[in-house]
């Protein structure tokens, strides 16, 4: 069988498809009370295990709506993203050291010029339903990602593929439209390319990961159980319960009171409280993940590059690091891929109010009005950005939306936000900035940038690729619409009863992916 992906060359973003799960009423996201208020279907009575294994690992999550579904190829809120990272598996992935490693692949190799790649699966991989993973499942998974009706974020990463052919039960041959030197990275950099069976049902999700689906109570939480036949380290806990606790105080209180064993989305102003709490603490891992503030470059108040530059020059990044992240991170300069070997750390954004004022005056933009729209979790950073903009003569209003409302207008905001793990330079560009990108929230378009991207893509080694990537970074630094004030640490509040958390997380996903190694003591 050799399905040909004829639609690849014409892939475009259908926002209504991409955001169909977010199209619910504004009253759909209510801050859950504490874990005890969740349905027993989503959060069964905890059990306890002996010797640091067994029991239920309970995590309070900063995100999730009544519309959340656990599609492996999309991720529209933190609960959805958590599941996409922790429960599904890509063929390859960047590990906590930011090194590419095989997960489901025994090997994945190109021919001499990258016009053809061959993927060989490990033998005996098993889905949760007992089915052996085959080449046909891989082809089905990637065809699903390429289906415009799915609205998969990673579709652009598979765009060079013209044909996928099953050579035998474990081998897939990929033909490329042109030389492509980083296809192995494209299949693993990120979290939304999970391999699933050909009979996949999003209402009863099945994967190869360490946790198997048990139940989902929309807007409240979900429960997963240990997958005994997992090909890697079998989970230490019997169950994993994720509860939607959007309100930051509710999450912290749930941790302090022992109703959950860990929480995501720790506010910067709560770090010291948790550190000083009894029986709880903080895990903080250096990471390249970030909250992205982005402005449209094609139209609206920031269409002039001088205004974009002035805005970026006005930001007090050190204060954002301190206030929003409790100093748990490092300052950024609006370029992604912080731990990519190609990252150009000579491009440093410094705060320059007088220089920014001069650019605003030159552009005739004094008094320009705009709205910074966010969803919950960005308030501290947003307020500091708004204050800096005011200093240079911009009138920006901050409006926090619920997740459904925000994502309903996701690609249309003149000034909006997003959140990313620590993707590599070329993968992030393919998804957000380069020609054909499926998640281009800045609407950035630059012919020279696209030419450099094509050259970088054709390069067969990191050494050949780096000069092109660094030229792309310079264009983004000077003309782009991305604002990356801080690379935030992976930060979780955890109970002292837990152990086994990942020690390195440069890719921003390893702590979540490593939950199978976390123990909960009685």
> What is the rounded average pLDDT of the residues 60-85?
90
> What is the rounded average pLDDT of the residues 489-504?
96
Residues 41, 155 within the same domain: no
- Cβ atoms of 274 and 464 within 8 Å: the answer is no
CATH of the domain at 167: 3.90.76.10
Is residue 332 domain-resident?
yes
| 393 secondary structure, DSSP code | T
| 154 secondary structure, DSSP code | G
Residues 391, 438 within the same domain: yes
Q: To the nearest 5 percent, what fractions of the chain are helix, strand and coil? A: 30, 20, 50
Residues 470, 353 within the same domain: yes
> What is the rounded average pLDDT of the residues 349-364?
98
Q: pLDDT at position 155, please?
A: 86
pLDDT above 90 (res 428): yes
> What is the rounded average pLDDT of the residues 336-355?
97
Question: pLDDT tens digits, residue range 187-224?
Answer: 998 778 999 999 999 999 999 999 999 999 999 999 99
Matching residue, tokens 């390429």: 146
pLDDT above 60 (res 505): yes
Q: Where are the alpha helices (DSSP H) in 25-129?
A: 78-86
Among 289, 354, 248, 320, CA closest to 31: 248
Q: pLDDT at position 1, please?
A: 42
Is residue 334 domain-resident?
yes
Residues 41, 104 within the same domain: no
The percent of residues in the chain predicted with pLDDT above 70, rounded, is: 90
Residues 320, 274 within the same domain: no
Higher pLDDT, 265 or 358: 358
- Cβ atoms of 464 and 299 within 8 Å: the answer is no
pTM value surpassing 0.95: no
Is residue 481 domain-resident?
yes
Is residue 337 domain-resident?
yes
pLDDT above 70 (res 301): yes
Residues 179, 149 within the same domain: yes
- What domain count does the chain have? 3
Rounded to whole angstroms, the Cα distance separating 301 from 286 reads 35
Is residue 412 domain-resident?
yes
Given 186, 211, 236, the domain boundary residue is 186
Question: pLDDT tens digits, residue range 152-183?
Answer: 878 888 989 999 999 999 999 999 999 999 99
CATH of the domain at 339: 3.10.105.10
Q: What is the dihedral of CA 150, 481, 458, 190, to 10 degrees?
A: -50
Least confident of 70-79, 233-242, 489-498, 512-521: 70-79
Among 19, 113, 30, 114, CA closest to 71: 19
> What is the rounded average pLDDT of the residues 345-363?
98
Q: pLDDT at position 53, please?
A: 65
Is residue 236 domain-resident?
yes
Q: How far is CA 424 from CA 94, 111, 176, 285, 420, in A?
A: 9, 23, 21, 18, 11
The SS3 of residue 146 is helix
Q: What are phi and psi of 483, to 5 degrees?
A: -120, 115
Structural domain range at position 230 = 33-89+202-284+493-520
C-alpha torsion sign, points 434, 440, 445, 449: negative
Name residues whose C-beta falls within 8 Å of residue 85's C-beta, 6 or more positions apart in sequence: 191, 421, 509, 512, 513
Rounded to whole angstroms, the Cα distance separating 398 from 394 reads 12
Q: pLDDT at position 517, please?
A: 97
Is residue 352 domain-resident?
yes
Residues 471, 397 within the same domain: yes
Higher pLDDT, 6 or 101: 101
Residues 262, 385 within the same domain: no
Question: pLDDT tens digits, residue range 220-242?
Answer: 999 999 999 999 999 999 999 99
Is residue 62 domain-resident?
yes
Question: pLDDT tens digits, residue range 55-65?
Answer: 999 999 988 98
Rounded to whole angstroms, the Cα distance separating 22 from 16 reads 9
Given 186, 212, 231, the domain boundary residue is 186
Rounded to whole angstroms, the Cα distance separating 83 from 21 reads 15
Compute the mean pLDDT over every residue in the chain, rounded to the nearest whole number: 89
Kindly calculate the radius of gyration of the chain based on its CA atoms and give it in whole angstroms.
22
Q: pLDDT at position 152, please?
A: 87
Residues 355, 466 within the same domain: yes
Matching residue, tokens 């993707």: 423
> What is the rounded average pLDDT of the residues 126-145?
98
Q: Where are the alpha helices (DSSP H) in 290-369?
A: 305-313, 317-325, 353-363
DSSP 281-292: EEEEEEEEEEEE
Given 162, 186, 210, the domain boundary residue is 186
Q: pLDDT at position 63, please?
A: 87
Residues 142, 234 within the same domain: no
Question: pLDDT tens digits, residue range 437-475?
Answer: 878 999 999 999 999 999 999 999 999 999 999 999 999
Residues 308, 443 within the same domain: yes
Question: pLDDT tens digits, residue range 15-57?
Answer: 333 332 222 222 222 222 333 333 333 333 333 333 346 899 9
C-alpha torsion sign, points 402, 222, 506, 492: positive
| 470 secondary structure, DSSP code | H
CATH of the domain at 236: 3.40.190.10
Matching residue, tokens 């909960």: 520
Residues 145, 256 within the same domain: no
């Amino acid at each position: 069988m050799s399905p040909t992906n004829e639609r690849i060359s014409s892939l475009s973003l259908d926002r209504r498809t991409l955001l169909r799960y977010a199209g619910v009423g504004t009253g759909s996201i209510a801050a859950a009370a504490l874990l005890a208020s969740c349905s027993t279907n989503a959060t069964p009575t905890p059990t306890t295990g002996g010797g640091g294994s067994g029991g239920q690992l309970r995590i309070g999550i900063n995100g999730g709506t009544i519309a959340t579904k656990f599609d492996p190829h999309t991720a529209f809120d933190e609960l959805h993203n958590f599941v996409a990272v922790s429960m599904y598996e890509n063929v390859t992935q960047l590990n906590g050291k930011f090194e590419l490693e095989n997960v489901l692949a025994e090997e994945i190799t190109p021919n001499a010029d990258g016009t053809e790649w061959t993927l060989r699966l490990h033998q005996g991989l098993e889905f949760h339903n007992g089915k052996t993973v085959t080449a046909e499942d891989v082809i089905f998974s990637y065809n699903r990602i390429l289906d415009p009706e799915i609205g998969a974020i990673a579709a652009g990463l598979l765009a060079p593929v013209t044909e996928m052919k099953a050579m035998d039960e474990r081998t897939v041959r990929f033909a490329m439209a042109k030389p492509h030197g980083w296809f192995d990275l494209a299949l693993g950099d990120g979290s939304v390319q999970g391999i699933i069976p050909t009979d996949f049902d999003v209402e009863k999700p099945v994967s190869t990961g360490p946790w198997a689906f048990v139940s989902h109570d929309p807007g409240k939480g979900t429960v997963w159980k240990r997958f005994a036949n997992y090909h890697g380290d079998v989970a230490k806990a019997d169950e994993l319960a994720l509860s939607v606790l959007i309100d930051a105080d509710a999450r912290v209180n749930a941790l302090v009171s022992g109703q959950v064993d860990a929480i995501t989305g720790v506010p910067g102003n709560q770090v010291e409280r948790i550190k000083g709490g009894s029986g709880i603490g903080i895990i903080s891992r250096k990471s390249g993940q970030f909250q992205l503030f982005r402005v449209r470059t094609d139209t609206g108040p920031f269409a002039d590059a001088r205004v974009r530059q002035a805005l970026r020059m006005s930001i007090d990044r050190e204060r954002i690091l301190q206030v929003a992240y409790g100093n748990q991170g490092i300052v950024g300069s609006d370029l992604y891929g912080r731990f990519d070997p190609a990252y150009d750390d000579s491009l440093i954004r410094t705060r320059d109010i007088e220089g920014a004022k001069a650019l605003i005056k030159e552009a005739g933009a004094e008094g320009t009005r705009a709205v910074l729209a966010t969803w919950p979790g960005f308030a501290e950073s947003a307020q500091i950005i708004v204050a800096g903009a005011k200093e240079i003569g911009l009138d920006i209003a901050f409006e926090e939306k619920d997740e459904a409302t925000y994502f309903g207008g996701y690609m249309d905001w003149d000034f909006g936000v997003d959140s990313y793990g620590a993707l590599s330079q070329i993968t992030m560009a393919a998804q957000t900035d380069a020609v054909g990108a499926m998640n281009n929230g800045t609407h950035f378009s630059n012919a020279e940038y696209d030419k450099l991207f094509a050259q970088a893509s054709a390069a067969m080694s990191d050494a050949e690729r780096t000069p092109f990537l660094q030229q792309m970074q310079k264009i983004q630094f000077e003309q782009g619409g991305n604002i990356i004030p801080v690379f935030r640490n992976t930060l979780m509040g955890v109970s002292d009863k837990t152990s086994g958390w990942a020690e390195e997380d440069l890719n921003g996903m390893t702590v979540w992916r490593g939950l199978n190694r976390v123990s909960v003591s009685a």
